[in-house]
A = this chain, B = another copy of it.
């Protein structure tokens, strides 16, 4: 593995940005200072880094993939309204995964689990809208 300038830049950006950035977010953040950088390179590096366990890839239903530099065992919560991604740790899942293996034969990976829901801010906003329209 070679450490190109681009690869270092992209990895650093994910490690520094706690928002769980998408490829596009990273590209837009970096392109001003690095006008030669291409979006394809960002994608290629994010995938490469995820495959080599230097990043985690987070799948977002109906949205761009996001990336996470925190490698310790944890799960994610995704706001379906604003797209916010937050880290959580649910240790009880280990036991649940064992049960799933027993019952279904599936060896599931608790680490890739993502809960979908509404964050506090979006819940509040939506409540307001209901009041206005009532």
The interface of chain A, by Cβ under 8 A from chain B, is 59, 61-62, 77, 79, 86, 88, 90, 92-93, 96-97, 99-100, 103-110, 112-113, 115-120, 123
Contacts and interface: CB of A to CB of B under 8 A. Distances in A.
Nearest to A61: B59
Contacts of A88: 100, 103-104
A84 to B, nearest CB: 9
B123 A117 contact: no
The DSSP consensus for interface residues of chain A is mixed
A88 B92 CA distance: 17
A106 B92 contact: no
> Which of A106, A119, A123 neighbours the largest number of chain B CB atoms within 10 Å of its CB?
A106
A108 B103 contact: no
A116 B109 contact: yes
